[in-house]
Amino acid sequence: MTLIKHELRQGWKSLAIWTLSIGFFIVICVMMYPEMEGEMEEVSEMFSSMGAFTAAFGMDKLNFGTLIGFYAIECGNILGIGGAFFAAILGITALAKEEKERTAEFLLSHPVSRNKVITEKLIAVFLQIVIMNVLVYLMSIASIAGIGEEISWEELGLLHLAYFLVQIVLAGICFGISAFIRGNGIGAGIGLATVMYFINIVANITESAKDLKYLTPFGFAEGADIITNVDLEWKMVAINMVFAFIAVGMAYWKYAKKDIR
């Protein structure tokens, strides 16, 4: 528990900045909705006829004239991309930063096994993701209530759950990579999250590449599909969770025998 507390104390500023930034932009989007509501029908019609661009973001399946449709696209992208970057950075720096900051030797000189170090760091990553998502969800609910709109609890909950699971998958994969690198891997983490995002766009646009959706966590976080089906694509969730578990398992294997400098 000591290492978990240390990680949370060390990372609270980053957590606060990411949470407030993502939450702030979501609140702003929601607050803009009443001013734009009257024009949303025309916007929805316009987007529905933009071919590949429409398919890329599933805008042909959503009605921008409803708050939940507007929220799924505008706020969903903010949480999806922002949350993915936050989770990737947490995961990719979790183990590598000890060598970068020259604190690994001090840490491992204490009577604590490497497996325990990995476990507590993994728990700290998970807790930070949970805290960020809970606070952003509460800010979203408060902003919707603040403009007097009815809250679509099931759809809203599924949207936020989907993006939370995306973050868990990316954090797990990046955590695994973290055990294999030395120094600053933030660029690699953000790069991986970006690649995953664009793989999903390619899968949406190209019929022959649609199976690529199973290789990216963004595949099960399509706002249009979630709102339309009021459910998640649990097969995709399971496949991506397997990727994350494998990556975390590789982290335990590598870190246990790694020459820490």
Mean pLDDT in order along the chain per 10 residues (261 residues): 85 95 95 75 57 55 76 89 96 79 55 81 96 97 93 94 97 93 85 93 82 92 87 94 96 80 59
pLDDT score for 204: 80
pLDDT score for 74: 83
DSSP state of 101: T
pLDDT score for 61: 63
pLDDT score for 51: 52
pLDDT score for 43: 57
pLDDT score for 42: 58
pLDDT score for 104: 53
Q: Kindly tell me the burial class for residue 199, based on how many C-beta atoms sit within 10 Å of its own C-beta (0-12, 13-18, 19 or more).
A: middle
pLDDT score for 39: 63
Full 3-state SS string of 10-74: HHHHHHHHHHHHHHHHHHHHHHHHHHHHHHHHHHHHHHCCCCHHHHHHCCCCCCCCCHHHHHHHH
- Count structural domains, the chain: 1
Quickly list H helices, 102-152: 104-108, 114-146
DSSP state of 216: S
Residue-number span of the structural domain to which 93 is assigned: 2-257
pLDDT score for 66: 81
pLDDT score for 63: 67
Do the beta carbons of residue 185 and residue 89 sit within 8 Å?
A: no
E-only strand ranges, 143-260: none
